[in-house]
Amino acid sequence: MRQKRLWDQKIGSEAEFEVKKLNYQASANTLEQLQNQYQRTKNNLRTKVLLADNSFESAMVNTKDFTLTSKINGKVYAIYKKEGEIITLQQPLASVGSASVFVVDLLVDEVDIVKLKKGQKVLINLDAYESRVFTGRINKIYPKKDERTQTFKVEAVFEEAPRILYPGLAGEANIIVSESENILTIPLEYLIDGNKVKTDDGLKIVNVGRKNMVEVEILSGIDINTEIYRPEQ
């Protein structure tokens, strides 16, 4: 500073020196403020440019037709929206499922659920194919009981599905929990008190094995030649 040099040389007054010093400090502060303001303005402009670029890209996407692509390969089974309809997030547009793996939903009574395990064979009869029986295997057993129906949900997968199949087809299924050969069974309605049958020689006690809603296995007490009769109602 010239004034400082003059002051060091004892030229000029102290008051003049202090005034010049204050002016210099004020100019330095102003310069620093302007430099900070310049940097802030530069950063703000850079942010606005990025926002403008993003808005432009979004606008370009919104003005073009685009195709929705499913994340899985399969077949479109239903379309829920029509062309021109306004949609929002979380709204389903279509139902897409496998074109080769078909699942059968079964409702199983709590008495029988403990007998089931994955991989067991299932015989499936669909109302649309009433003369045919298809086979499948248990794929999943849901552990929670439906309190409304008092049943458990079980999923089975077709081993060989019908050539034409649509979601929601109704039918019945039998799950094979075990297999035996050369066994004697009788209609369940012929059993009396759980262990007797009516024959020409009167009531006979029998030992029973496995049973379902229709038949019961007879282990001993009668044989294939024994005539039995339905009990009177």
Q: Determine the average pLDDT of the residues in 37-58.
A: 85
Give a yes or no: residue 97 inside a domain.
Answer: no
Confidence check: pLDDT of 192 > 90: yes
Residues 111 and 165 occupy one common structural domain: yes
Considering the domain boundaries, does residue 84 fall inside one?
A: no
* Res. 16 pLDDT band, cuts 50 70 90: confident
The predicted structure's pLDDT at residue 210:
83
Q: Are residues 159 and 203 in the same domain?
A: no
Q: Is 50 domain-assigned?
A: yes
Report the pLDDT value the prediction gives residue 65, as an integer from 0 to 100.
56
Residue 52 lies in a domain: yes
Do residues 112 and 166 share a domain? yes
Mark whether 164 and 116 lie in a shared domain: yes
Instruction: Say what the pLDDT of residue 208 is.
Output: 93
Clarify whether residues 171 and 194 are in a common domain: no
Q: What is the pLDDT of residues 64-110, one digit of tens each?
A: 556 677 888 888 888 888 887 888 878 888 888 887 788 899 999 99
Domain that holds residue 160: 103-175
> Domains in the chain: how many in total?
3
Q: Per the domain annotation, does 86 fall within a domain?
A: no
Q: pTM to 2 decimals?
A: 0.50
At 48, the amino acid letter reads: K
CA-to-CA distance for 189 and 100, rounded, in angstroms?
41
Query: Is the per-residue pLDDT at 31 higher than 90?
Result: no
Same domain, 139 and 191: no
Q: Report which of residues 32 and 7 the model is more confident about.
A: 32
What's the mean pLDDT in 50-66?
Answer: 71
- Whether 77 is in a domain gets the answer no
| DSSP characters over 100-145 | S--EEEEEEEHHHHTT--TT-EEEEEEGGGTT--EEEEEEEEEEEE
Residues 33 and 55 in one domain: yes
Residue 115 lies in a domain: yes
- Considering only residues 131 and 6, tell me which one the structure prediction assigns the higher pLDDT: 131
Q: If you average pLDDT over residues 217-222, what whole number do you get? A: 92
* 151 and 198 belong to one structural domain: no
- Whole-angstrom distance, CA of residue 184 vs CA of residue 206: 12
User: What is the pLDDT at residue 108?
Assistant: 93
| Residue 12 scores a pLDDT above 60 | no
In the beta sheet, which residues pair with residue 153?
Answer: 107
Single out the residue of 23, 21, 25, 26 nearest to residue 5, CA to CA: 21
- The reported pLDDT for the residue numbered 116 is 93
Stronger pLDDT, 51 or 179, i.e. the higher one:
51
Concatenated DSSP letters of 187-205: EGGG-BTTTEEEETTEEEE
pLDDT of 63 > 60? The answer is no
111 and 145 share one domain: yes
Query: Where does a domain end: 62, 86, 113?
Result: 62
What confidence tier does 160 reach under pLDDT thresholds 50, 70, 90? confident
What's the gap between Cα 118 and its chain centre? 19
| 131 belongs to a structural domain | yes
User: Which one-letter DSSP state was computed for residue 7?
Assistant: H
CATH number of the structural domain spanning residue 114: 2.40.30.170
- Are residues 161 and 109 part of one domain? yes
Cα(17)–Cα(19) distance, integer angstroms: 5
Confidence of residue 62 (pLDDT cuts 50, 70, 90): low
C-alpha 180/C-alpha 32 separation (Å) is: 96
